[in-house]
Amino acid sequence: MKQHDASDFSGFDLPNLLNGLPHGVVLIDNEGRIVTANRIFEAFTGYASDDVRGIGCDFVLRANPDIKKTIFETTFTGQETLSLEGDIINVNRKKAFMRFFVSPLSNQNGTKIGYMVAVEDVTALKERDRQRPGASESKGILGHSPKMQEILDFVPILARTDTTLLVTGETGTGKDLLAEAIHHESKRASYPFIKVNCGALPETLLESELFGHVRGAYTGAHSDKPGMFRLAQGGTLFLTEIGDLPLALQVKLLTVLDDREFFPLGSSKKVQVDVRLITGTNRDLRQMVKDGTFREDLYYRLNVLRAHLPPLRERGDDAPLLLDHFVKLYAGNLGKNIKGFTSEASAELASYAYPGNVRELRNIVEYAVNVCPHEHIGPSHLPTYIQAATSSPPPLPLANRVLDTPRRVDEQSPPAPAAGDTIFAQGSTWTEIEKGQILGALMKTGGNRSLAALELGWGRSTLWRKIKRYGLE
Amino acid sequence: MKNVKILITIRDSDVAPRFDLTTEVLIVETDGNKATNKPRNILLPGPSADELCSLIIKEGVSLVICGGIEEAHYQYLVWKKITVIDKVIGPASEVLQRAMANELGSGAILRNSNREKRR
């Protein structure tokens, strides 16, 4: 059977090839004048390809931004595909939202002869996004609370730029979802979104995973590996758990951010990349810088733009919204007719603190939907640790003392002990909460330490030790 | 013959590709066949279809020649009894000549060689 090579394709029918493509396509010369266009492009603009040959594509395409200007007056080097979003006024006098892809064209001698501009109509996608129930739902992120609304309003602004973004927030708050939502809103949406967990791999493997390697770079490197930076070319790379990135790789990452190029492992050839970097962490990078475990220069380089996701306990009425959402989701997946929670189960869930945030809430609902045989989920269908945690008075909000210091309860926090009559302002630390509980219990029992220990569910010696530690004597 | 005030949206010396992104217009008063006074170029403070519509009304323009225009603005001008010839491509001077000769239609493509193709 005859092997076909490139020369067999050299003289084939260009108009037919272009007409077979699913987007509007126009070929332009080095001056931005139209050489030929396919039928979809003709349908967008209302002009026949033959009629507009030799005319500047900007007059025919009627695009904003001006494609010709972008190609010839910006820093576009013409080496890679340029992706832009904008609109055109189409033949029906309608403003249609478009995604433009500009690729350089060279002849067989390597001389640049012009550009190919592909035009994809994304009006329907934009319209669907606009009409989505509750403008606050962005790519799977739910939330009506002011803090979440602030973040969601910020998404289009974060998507419009290529600047490095640091997403912070406790575990389970949705850092990955936010990064992905920003990618999908950006002009890079049609290129890959790649997520790499910096804490999941040992240093050598992580370097190879991120930057790739060439064959023979180390024992077992049997073939070239492109690495995530190269795979994300044109798109977004999300490095989660960036706080776990080893110091040696921090240097390499800093170089990539500065120069947009790097050497894959074992290679002497530099690789250039056009990737937007988003990083995420639940660790305090500033503190890590102080401790010497995170490079200060990299911290400032990553922290150009910052988005902080609030923990669920600071999101007001978002918990019921999320509960409802996940019940519908899992009930639908399992084909169950579950309509919601009984009032008792709702009360238990409302008083639970969700240290694991939305991820924990989702897992609780998944468990409950699996276990529940009825139409409404009751307290007995909830995981037992919730019943245990909520059977004693909840840590928030209790009685009559305000501790107005920043609060930080994370998943490492011990479960809420039986508490005295103390009220805690949002933002209290666990230490402050515990101090308040001890004081509340002592006030309730008239200063009797044995009764206070009983009230708190501790031994007398534990209470005595904590009183001493907190200086409450 | 009836006087006609023509407004052409321009970019450099050509008809601007988009009405809503126009930052300069050419206004010519004609007696139907030729200009009755010197054409005026007006630089707009910024691109705005609404502002441009206001200017057209204020100036008492009766014929607008432009590139792409959104249906809402097109219908508004038509409702104001202004003739709109849109989707025009070509040098403003030649477009003006064609308009005065009553030979210009929507979608007209004029080139410097005076070769016109009409869809």
Domains parsed from chain B with CATH numbers: 4-117 (3.30.420.130)
Which residue type is seen at A160?
Answer: R
| Residue A89 with chain B: CB contacts under 8 Å | 18-20, 67-70
Q: Do the Cβ atoms of A174 and A312 come closer than 8 Å?
A: no
Would the pLDDT of B116 be above 80? no
Q: Where in chain A is the domain with CATH 1.10.8.60?
A: 313-391
CA distance A241 to A253: 14
Q: Where in chain A is the domain with CATH 3.40.50.300?
A: 132-308
Judge whether A92 is closer than 8 Å to chain B, CB to CB: yes
Q: Do the Cβ atoms of A70 and A86 come closer than 8 Å?
A: no
Hey, are the CB atoms on B70 and A48 less than 8 Å from each other?
no
CATH number 3.30.450.20 given to A12-126: yes
CA distance A438 to A111: 79
Burial of residue B5 (CB within 10 Å: 0-12, 13-18, 19+) is middle
- List C-alpha distances in Å: B2 to A273, A313, B58: 64, 74, 19
Which residue type is seen at B113?
Answer: S
| Residue A87 with chain B: CB contacts under 8 Å | none
Report the complex ipTM. 0.89
Half-sphere exposure of A248 (CA within 13 A, CB side): 7
Among the four given CATH numbers 3.30.428.10, 3.40.50.300, 3.40.190.10, 3.90.1150.10, the one describing domain A132-308: 3.40.50.300
Give the nearest partner residue to B18 out of A52, A89, A94, using CB atoms.
Answer: A89
Provide the CA A248 distance to its chain's centre, in angstroms.
Answer: 25
Q: Do the Cβ atoms of B65 and B7 come closer than 8 Å?
A: yes
Distance from the Cα of B69 to chain A's closest Cα (Å) equals: 6
Contacting residues for A56 by C-beta, under 8 A, at least 6 apart: A31, A32, A33, A34, A68
Neighbouring C-beta atoms of residue A4, cutoff 10 Å: 8
CATH number 3.40.30.10 given to A402-469: no
Query: Tokens 């107005």, residue?
Result: A404
Contacting residues for A138 by C-beta, under 8 A, at least 6 apart: A152, A155, A181, A185
Predicted confidence pLDDT, tens digits, chain A (473 residues): 555 555 666 666 787 888 888 889 999 988 889 999 998 898 888 888 888 899 999 999 999 888 887 777 655 565 667 777 889 998 889 889 888 888 888 888 878 888 889 998 888 777 766 655 444 445 578 888 888 888 888 888 899 888 999 999 998 899 999 999 999 888 888 788 888 888 887 887 888 888 888 888 777 777 777 888 888 888 899 999 999 888 888 988 998 888 888 888 888 888 888 899 999 999 999 999 999 889 999 999 999 999 999 999 888 878 888 888 898 888 888 888 888 888 888 888 888 888 899 999 999 999 999 988 888 898 888 888 887 776 655 444 333 333 333 333 333 333 333 333 333 444 456 777 778 888 888 887 888 888 888 878 778 888 888 888 777 77
Name the 3-class secondary structure at B82.
Answer: coil
**pLDDT recorded at residue A308:** 92
| Residue B14 with chain A: CB contacts under 8 Å | 59
- Best of A49, A67, A89, A91 to mutate (most B CBs within 10 Å, chain B): A89
pLDDT digits (tens, 9 = 90+) for A327-360: 888 888 888 888 888 888 888 888 888 889 999 9
Q: Do the Cβ atoms of B108 and B118 come closer than 8 Å?
A: yes
Among candidate residues A469, A390, A394, A400, the one with its CA nearest the CA of residue A435: A469
Compute the C-alpha angle A221/A224/A229, nearest 5°: 110
* Tokens (6 digits) for A189: 């949406």
Would the pLDDT of B57 be above 90? yes
CA distance A262 to A393: 56
Hey, are the CB atoms on B109 and A58 less than 8 Å from each other?
no
**pLDDT recorded at residue B90:** 94
Provide the CA A121 distance to its chain's centre, in angstroms.
Answer: 25
Judge whether A124 is closer than 8 Å to chain B, CB to CB: no
Compute the C-alpha angle A24/A25/A27, nearest 5°: 155
Give the nearest partner residue to B21 out of A59, A64, A94, using CB atoms.
Answer: A64
H or E segment and range at residue A366: helix A357-371
User: How large is the C-alpha radius of gyration of chain A?
Assistant: 29
Q: Where in chain A is the domain with CATH 1.10.10.60?
A: 402-469
Query: Tokens 């050509």, residue?
Result: B14
Q: Chain B residue closest to A95 (CA)?
A: B70
Give the nearest partner residue to A51 out of B14, B74, B109, using CB atoms.
Answer: B109
Among candidate residues A192, A173, A194, A169, the one with its CA nearest the CA of residue A278: A194
pLDDT digits (tens, 9 = 90+) for A227-275: 888 888 888 999 999 998 888 889 889 988 888 888 888 888 888 888 9
Name the 3-class secondary structure at B60.
Answer: coil
| pTM exceeds 0.90 | no
* Tokens (6 digits) for A423: 């009220």
Q: Do the Cβ atoms of A395 and A424 come closer than 8 Å?
A: yes
- DSSP state letters, A198-217: TTSS-HHHHHHHHH-B-TTS
| Residue B76 with chain A: CB contacts under 8 Å | none
Among the four given CATH numbers 3.40.50.300, 3.40.30.10, 1.10.8.60, 3.30.70.260, the one describing domain A313-391: 1.10.8.60
Determine what percent of chain B falls in helix, strand and coil, rounding each to the nearest 5: 25, 30, 45
Q: Which residues of A105-140 are buried (b: 16+ CB within 10 A; e: fewer)?
A: beeeeeeeebbbbbbbbbeeeeeeeeeeeeebbbbe
Hey, are the CB atoms on A59 and B89 less than 8 Å from each other?
yes
